[in-house]
Amino acid sequence: MLIFNNALINLTDIADLPERPTLKVISLVPSPTASTADTDIVSLSSEEGSSHVRQAQWPETFEVPNFPVDIEFRLRQGNLLYMRDQTYMQVPRDMKHEILEKLAECMYSFKAYPSDDDFNDVASSLVKKHPCLTEPGSSTGCNGWKNSLKFKMGNYRTKLRRAGCTDVLINVGKRGGQDPLRSVKRPKHFEINFLPNYPAGEDECSMESKRLQLVEEMKKCHPSSTLISQNMDSTFSLRRKEIVEIESPVKETLQRWPSLFTERQINAEFVRITSKNLKQDFFTALDQHTARFLKIFETKKGAVGKRLSEFLDQIKLKGTDITANRTAVLRGLPLLLGEETSDFFKATLDCDCDIPQISIGILTVITEGSQDSSQALHLENSHTAIILEGAIVMDNIENLPDAMWLLFGLIYALNLEYPPQLKNTFDFIQRVFLSLGHKSLKPKLQSLKNMLLM
């Protein structure tokens, strides 16, 4: 714009300018602000840092991907013929190879070792989307596709091993032993990021440097939560390598990764491993079913019913206290599933220095004079602790419900087995509370789930 006689006019030709003009330039394209640029950098960095991990669980309904253009065209023609006169397609070898290759690639984006049910889901979805591929001689219409997918997935993993993908490379040569199924390392509890590759631009040395930063940061009175979160995220693959491949003892992991044994990072690690928010999902499901659980407790008879009645009597004294109700449900859940809790839930006096001799469990520390029996919920406890491999790894936890979700998260973070005495309980939490795993449940679990939904 041009100032002429103290008035602004639009300039259309540069030749119209006087010798010493005053110009005001108005940009038609807004320049990015510093905050926007910073946001973009952070966003890009976050995307690059997380590109080496899977982002989603196996879907409820498997969506068949689009195949190459020529394959899609041939399938479209085949489906038209099928709809017109029920003619099944004779799939050429090259076409079948392309279909299986694409499906294997898509399956691997969710998990490296699909289960039999997963293969069945994919094969069923394939013939549902493309009915011309249905196998008329098969009881399900897709048994042949299912078997072919299993072979193709094995071949696909072989290609990935040669490329150096860690979640399949770890099992090279494991099939030659006497008990191969025990030696093959694969997800135990439907983890989606069981053993991720190193992030782009990172190697073992760079991540080890960040690990040492974490150790030093945790020695401070007020550690930086931002630094801890950033370094824990970028060293995830190194940590999983130590835990899964090297199988470091819990005591050693506690020394090398002290920040992993904090509430915030247990929840963050669970998100990295499963893409789910453990604390939020755990308490949402627990609170959703608490009222129904307490009703079920009231209907139980016999020895189990007597123990559950004692729990109910104790929480009645607390009124509508949500922590008391949660504690009663978590203590009663194993009893409904026929499991004994005496070697898992332990109590000790705050003046007693001895640790119960158990490999895994929850220890409630009570004050002297408190009720000390196997049926006491210890709602007025001093604090709670978590025991792993015979040692206390987390202390000063506020209550038992918090200790339960933290222990569940540590089992995932440390690649541990569920407590043998409470295997059904933890399996129920995983599959029903957190929706991790297949819908098919063991009879005991399914029966209890049915009762909850009545």
Of 174, 194, 214, which closes a domain?
A: 174
* Residues in Cβ contact with 9 at an 8 Å cutoff, skipping those fewer than 6 apart: 1, 2, 3
Check: CB of residue 350 under 8 Å from CB of residue 381.
Answer: no
Tens of pLDDT along 135-161?
A: 998 889 999 999 999 999 999 999 998
Of 174, 208, 240, which closes a domain?
A: 174
Above pLDDT 70, what percent of the chain?
84
Q: Which helix (H) or strand (E) holds 158?
A: helix 143-163
What DSSP string runs through 180-196?
Answer: HHHH----SS--S-SSP
pLDDT bucket at 30, cuts 50 / 70 / 90:
very low
> Three-class SS of residue 363?
strand
* Cα 196 from Cα 23, distance rounded (Å): 58
Tens of pLDDT along 163-221?
A: 888 888 887 765 544 454 456 788 889 899 999 999 888 899 999 999 999 999 999 99
Whether residue 293 is contained in a domain is answered as no
What pLDDT score does 3 carry? 53
Check: CB of residue 108 under 8 Å from CB of residue 160.
Answer: yes
Q: Which residue has the tokens 């669970």?
A: 270
What pLDDT score does 17 carry? 60
What pLDDT score does 411 carry? 98
Q: What's the pTM value of the predicted model, to 2 decimals?
A: 0.78
Q: How far is CA 204 from CA 87, 241, 286, 396, in A?
A: 56, 10, 40, 34
Q: Return the closest-CA partner of residue 346 out of 363, 370, 366.
A: 363
Check: CB of residue 391 under 8 Å from CB of residue 355.
Answer: yes
- The range of the structural domain enclosing residue 125 comes to 69-174
What pLDDT score does 424 carry? 97
- Asked whether residue 100 carries a pLDDT value surpassing 80, the answer given is yes
Give the tokens for residue 126.
Answer: 């394939």
* Cα 182 from Cα 190, distance rounded (Å): 17
Above pLDDT 90, what percent of the chain?
65
* Of 215 and 48, more confident: 215
- Asked whether residue 430 carries a pLDDT value surpassing 70, the answer given is yes
Whether residue 258 is contained in a domain is answered as no
**Kindly report the CA angle at 330 between 327 and 336, in degrees rounded to 5?**
135
Whether residue 321 is contained in a domain is answered as yes
Strands 360-366 and 345-349: parallel
* Cα 239 from Cα 413, distance rounded (Å): 9
Whether residue 160 is contained in a domain is answered as yes
Answer left, alpha or beta for residue 87, where phi above 0 means left and psi between -120 and 50 means alpha.
beta
Tens of pLDDT along 231-250?
A: 999 999 999 999 998 899 99
Q: How far is CA 245 from CA 166, 201, 224, 237, 239, in A?
A: 10, 22, 30, 11, 10
Specify the number of domains making up the chain. 2
Whether residue 265 is contained in a domain is answered as no
What pLDDT score does 49 carry? 40
Check: CB of residue 326 under 8 Å from CB of residue 343.
Answer: no
Whether residue 145 is contained in a domain is answered as yes
> Three-class SS of residue 403?
helix
Whether residue 10 is contained in a domain is answered as no
Answer left, alpha or beta for residue 135, where phi above 0 means left and psi between -120 and 50 means alpha.
beta
**Range 100-112 burial, b when 16+ CB lie within 10 A, else e:** bbbbbeebbebbb
Question: Average pLDDT of 254-261?
Answer: 97
Candidate from 111-115, 146-150, 400-404 with smallest mean pLDDT: 111-115
What pLDDT score does 32 carry? 41
Tens of pLDDT along 62-78?
A: 999 999 999 999 999 99
Whether residue 146 is contained in a domain is answered as yes
* Cα 42 from Cα 226, distance rounded (Å): 13
pLDDT bucket at 329, cuts 50 / 70 / 90:
very high
pLDDT bucket at 438, cuts 50 / 70 / 90:
confident
- What's the farthest any 2 CA atoms get from each other in the chain? 104
What pLDDT score does 371 carry? 60
pLDDT bucket at 288, cuts 50 / 70 / 90:
very high
Q: How far is CA 87 from CA 82, 99, 141, 143, in A?
A: 5, 20, 14, 19
What pLDDT score does 319 carry? 80
* Cα 402 from Cα 322, distance rounded (Å): 12
Question: Average pLDDT of 376-380?
Answer: 84
Candidate from 33-37, 68-72, 314-318, 348-352 with smallest mean pLDDT: 33-37
